[in-house]
Amino acid sequence: MDLNSVALRTVVRGGRLVTMDGEITADLVIDDHQIVAMLADSAGVDGDTDIDAHDLLILPGMVDTWFPAPWLHDVDAGETAHRIQVAALAGGLTTIAAEPGKAPTDVGIPSHLSLDAAMWLPVHADSIPTSQQIARMKSVGMIGASVTLLGDRGLTDAELYQLMQVLVQHDLPLTVQPLHHEISLRDPVAEVLATTTLMVLAEETGAWVHLHGMTTAAAVRTAVRARERGVNVTISVSALYLGLAAESGRSLRVRPPLRSQRDMDALWNYVLAEQVDCISVTAMRGENGVPLSDAQTALCLFWHEAVSKRGMSPQQAVRMLSTNPAQILGVFPQKGSLRIGSDADLIFFDPEATWTATNGDALDGTGLCPVHGMELRGFITRVLNHGRTVYDAEHHHDDALVIPGTGKLLHRG
C-alpha cells in the first residue's frame, strides 16, 4: 500500500501557531497530507485523528539547506539511513537538501527516504558543467550546485569563477562551506579568506552564493558587508557553534573545530540581528569514526540559546529554522510555512518544559549526544510529516513511526 495515497483527516485543536509573522491560536484541519483549514473553533469538525495541542506551540517543520547524507542513494545503507532519519525527525527536521551521491540523471526517490529532500548537484574539480548540462540537471530537479574547497574535489578560484558564470544564467545558487585549503581550519582566517574570495567572485558574476556551516563572526561580517553592496549571498550557521564554545572541553570531531566563547558571542550579534538567514545542523564523527549529527538536538539547542536565554521572538526563530531555508531552496510555501495548502509538517513544542539531553536518548544508533548533560528549555512533544505522526515523545524509542519510502523528492518551485 502506498502510504502517501492514504487520505485521512487530522484535526489539531487548541495550539498556538507560530508563523513567520506572528502567533495565532487556531485549530488546524489536515486532509490529504496538507493543511486545508485554520479555524477559530473546530468543534463541528470530525477527524480520523484528533490531537490536543493546548498549551503547546505549533511550528512548521525545520528545513536544512545542506544536510550531509552519503547514505541517500546507497542501497546497502537502509538501516543507517533509517536511524539517521528517525533522529532527525525526532528533532523536528522534516526537510533536507543534500548531494545525491550518484549521477543526477539517475536520481529518483530512494526506497529508504523517510523525510523530504531536495538535491544539490555536486560539482568536482576539473568537471565544471556547461550551461546545457546545468539546464538538464535543473530539468530533473536539481536546486543548485554544491562544491567544496578542500581535498581532491576542491575547486580552484578559476573553476569557481567559471561555475558562477554558468549558474547565474539559470538563476541557481551555489552552496559552499567557506574554508580555505591552504590554512589550518583551526584558524578563523581560513573561513574569512575563503568568504572574501567567494564574495569577490559573486560580485563580479552576479551569482547567488549560499554559505553554509559558517562559524566565525569575522567571516559572517565579510558576507554581510558584501550583501550591503548588492552581492547575492545567503548565510547559514550551525546551531552547535552557537551553543558550544571551545572552552566547553567537548571533544567533538567537527570541521572546523568549535570556536572560542568570544567568537561565539560575536556571532550571536549577527544571528539576533537576523543578518544570518538560517540555522542548520552539524555533521561530525563520534568515537571510532561513527557518523554523528546534532540533528536530533539542533532545534531545541537553538531555541534554548536564542529564545529562552537571549529573548529572540518565536517568529524570528521560525524564520531562521524553517521559512528562510525553505525560501532559499525554492520550496516555500510548500515547506517552512503554516498556511492553507502547505504540507502538514508540524512540530508540537512546549516552550516552558526543561529537560536534560543524554546519550541514552540518542536515536541515531550511536548512543552519543553532542550536548550530553546540557539542560535545555523547550521540548518537542510530537512531530508530523505530511500530517502523519513520525515522532511522539511518549513513545520516544518507537522508530516504527518512521516508515521508509514515505519521503518525497522536492523540486525548486
State whether residue 26 is helix, strand or coil. Answer: strand
Strand 253-254's sheet: what is its strand order?
253-254, 283-285, 291-293
- Residue 195, pLDDT above cutoff 80: yes
The per-residue pLDDT for 289 is: 64
SS3 170: helix
CA 20 to chain centre: 16
Write the pLDDT tens digit of every residue in 198-234: 999 999 999 999 999 999 999 999 999 999 999 999 9
Q: For 137-152, give the DSSP string.
A: HHHTTEEEEEE-SSST
* pLDDT exceeds cutoff 50 at 134: yes
The DSSP output letter for 61 is P
Residue ranges of the chain assigned to CATH 2.30.40.10: 3-59+344-355+363-402
Q: Would you say residue 71 has pLDDT above 90?
A: no
Name the grid cell of 115: 523525510
pLDDT at 303 over 90: yes
Cis peptide leading into 129, omega within 30 of 0? no
Give ranges for CATH 3.20.20.140 in the chain.
Answer: 66-329
Cell of 377: 528549555
| Residue 354 pLDDT exceeds 80 | yes
Determine phi and psi for 36, rounding to 5 degrees. -115, -15
Q: How confident is the model at residue 190 (pLDDT cuts 50, 70, 90)?
A: very high
Q: What is the mean pLDDT of the chain?
A: 93
Contact in structure between 18 and 315 (CB atoms under 8 Å): yes
**Contact criterion met (CB below 8 Å) for 347 and 339:** no
Fold of the domain built from segment(s) 3-59+344-355+363-402: Urease, subunit C; domain 1 (2.30.40)
- pLDDT for the residue numbered 298: 98
Q: Could you count the other beta carbons within 10 Å of the beta carbon of residue 169?
A: 13
Please say if the pLDDT value at position 3 is more than 60. Answer: no
Q: Do residues 238 and 280 touch, judged by C-beta distance below 8 A?
A: yes
What is the Cα–Cα distance from 277 to 270, expressed in whole angstroms?
Answer: 10
Which DSSP helix (H) or strand (E) runs through 134?
A: helix 131-139
pLDDT at residue 250, rounded to an integer:
87
Q: Which residues contact 371 (CB under 8 A, 6 or more apart)?
A: 240, 243, 244, 294, 297, 301, 357
Distance CA 224, CA 86 (A): 35
Class of CATH domain 66-329: alpha beta
Q: For residue 243, is pLDDT > 80?
A: yes
